[in-house]
Amino acid sequence: MELIYKIATKRNLFIGLGFIVLVNAAVFPLVPKWFGVSISIDKILDIQFGFDKYFVLSSLSSMGEKGREVYLLSTLVIDSIYAIIYGVTYTIFFIFIAKDTSQKRIVFFPFLISLFDLLENTGIVSLILNYPNISEMLVVFTSFANRLKWIFALLTIVLVIVFIAKRLLQSK
């Protein structure tokens, strides 16, 4: 807990935000092109709000073997590092906007997004490695982690808006 407060500097916040923008704007869209594959964005499991076995099989099939290899590599390396960095960055952001000591625990809320993203990544890796013989239970687990990731992301946005509104009202 103390470590996050030690690294909670404006410099680290801006480095983290820059990393998030870079990964979303350039790395994620370009990784398939770097490896010479075309993966339709609507087939990426990570950006869905839940999915079923049919969707998973259809998506992974449409990627082809090379596309699945790239998706596996991207999920294992890039998306997992990304999940940790955005969790830390959003937590630093919360530290700055939620300075009220009664709200100390809430600053760690963004780590829930990271936790569920990492669980989702674990499921996606297992789905890819077991394709086409994927179990319904694995799909349900991965889809559940995916939905929780998006729910906590939305709740985090709501909390940011509430904190900012509260600070604006207090400054008047």
| All structural domains of the chain with their residue ranges | 2-165
Please write the tens of the pLDDT for every residue from 107-124.
888 999 999 999 999 999
Q: Is 45 helix (H, G, I), strand (E, B) or coil?
A: helix
For 42-91, how does the pLDDT look when each residue is reduced to its tens digit (9 = 90+)?
A: 899 999 999 999 999 999 999 999 999 999 999 999 999 999 999 999 99
Has residue 171 got a pLDDT over 80? Answer: no
Alpha carbon distance 62, 142 (integer Å): 19
User: Rounded to whole angstroms, what are the CA distances from 137 to 28, 37, 53, 62?
Assistant: 28, 29, 9, 22
- State the chain's mean pLDDT as an integer: 91
Q: Are 125 and 145 in contact (CB under 8 A)?
A: no
What's the confidence (pLDDT) of residue 106? 79
Pick from 107, 102, 104: nearest CA to 90: 107
In angstroms, the CA 48 to CA 146 distance is 8
Q: Which has the closest alpha carbon to 75: 102, 98, 46? A: 46
The pLDDT assigned to 100 comes to 63
Phi first, then psi: what are they for 63, rounded to 5°?
-75, -25
**What confidence tens digit (pLDDT) does each residue in 127-137 have?**
999 999 999 99
**How big is the chain, counted in residues?**
172
